[in-house]
Amino acid sequence: MVENVVIIGSGPAGWAAAIYVARASLKPLVFEGALTAENQTRGTLPLGQLALTTEVENYPGFPAGNLSQFLDTAIINDKRQYMAPHTGHGVTGPELMELMRQQAVNFGTRVITDDVVDIDLSKRPFRMQTLEGMEVQAHSVIIATGARANYLGLPSEDRFKNRGVSACAVCDGALPRFRDRPLVVVGGGDSAMEEATYLTKFASRVYIVHRRDAFRASKVMADRALGNPKITVKWNSHVEEVLGSDEDGVTGVRIRTQPGDHEEALEAGGYFAAIGHTPNTDFLKGQLQLTDKKYLVWTKPFRTHTSVEGVFAAGDVADDYYRQAITAAGSGCMAALDCERWLATQDVH
């Protein structure tokens, strides 16, 4: 059997594409990602980056409010029983993603909890293989695999991953080991501001280490962080080493500050990287045109076509500029419509 449309990825782009493809009666198959420790460490579990956030305040249609009853009635109980309790302050990232997934499933989307690890776009139908060994053929593919958080790439980061080094404060910050201790966040963008502000709920103090003398975060996020009495900013500084021991995990961070080349060791029980993203395009093994930063290239203006006919891209995997839930969902819809029209020209309905 050859699938009409395979969608790879399960963030807002993937589910928006699935909703549109399913409603066009094209019976999409979604690979939402595998439940593995490696995906957990890399932040590439099913439901993507949004599932690693707290409240989502900027997704249109979800002003702050209590969604308990809505979530109970919208999401099937098999899923709902494992979700975190609703906070009552508007939709959270994980809730928004479960809602999108449910909406896609309601229209007949089939979902497989596995990673596509190999893909052959050189002949038709396209062929794919998953981590667990499943093989699938498809007339068309929508790639919506998103992006993942970067680390600095220091050997000492690797050494203490899951032992005090994390790229996701919201995933790990409330653990007992981080409580009432100083913590370090590296970065100067919105995600650094969110992580630092979030961590002040648990930490005795949060240091933001930033290599410039100003944040590139949005003003509202930067002001929130700078106004927080628990946050101290180390400007013009970069992290040289994460300090620690096998016994205790992370115990501090060594930084160097300019001008003056001043070296300083900050005591810290945890280190959180918030320094940009890498698109998840490795599994394509160079078969599609990428930018120098490895993002997928949209080859037609205002369309979601890629360099191979019948393959479309949506969301952060092709967008290093907007990177919002709503823009990802929007381009997911675009990819579905582009795909549907392309299939019609191939006499697949």
Looking only at residues 238 through 257 of this chain, which bind another protein when binding is defined by CB under 8 A?
Answer: 249
Q: How far is the CB of 275 from another protein (least distance, A)?
A: 20
Annotation marks residue 333 as catalytic: no
- Annotated catalytic residue: which of 72, 114, 158, 168? 168
What's the burial of 286, exposed, middle or buried (CB within 10 Å: 0-12/13-18/19+)?
A: exposed
Q: How far apart are CA 345 and CA 349, in angstroms?
A: 9
Check residue 163 for interaction with another protein (CB under 8 A).
yes
Q: Single out the catalytic residue among 118, 120, 171, 320.
A: 171
Q: Is 76 in the site for another protein (CB under 8 A)?
A: no
Active site residue 339: no
What the block records as the tokens of 76 is 């099937």
Strands 135-143 vs 126-130: parallel, antiparallel or unpaired: antiparallel
Q: How far is the CB of 194 from another protein (least distance, A)?
A: 15
Contacts of 21 (CB under 8 A, 6+ apart): 4, 5, 7, 28, 109, 142, 336, 339, 340
Distances (CA, A) of 239 to 199, 234, 252, 253: 19, 10, 11, 7
Spatial contact of 311 and 127, defined as CB atoms under 8 Å apart = no
Q: Which of 1, 37, 133, 155 binds another protein (CB under 8 A)?
A: 37
39 binds another protein (CB under 8 A): yes
Binders of another protein among 172-191, rule CB under 8 A? 172, 174-177, 179
Residue 168: active-site member: yes
Instruction: Verify binding: residue 278, another protein, rule CB under 8 A.
Output: no
Minimal distance in Å, beta carbon 276 to another protein?
Answer: 22
Amino acid, res. 296: L
Contact flag: residue 45 with another protein (CB under 8 A): yes
What are the φ/ψ torsions at residue 129 (nearest 5 degrees)?
-130, 145
List interacting residues with another protein (CB under 8 A).
35-41, 45-47, 51-52, 81-85, 94, 162-164, 166, 170-172, 174-177, 179, 249
The residues annotated as belonging to the active site are 168, 171-172
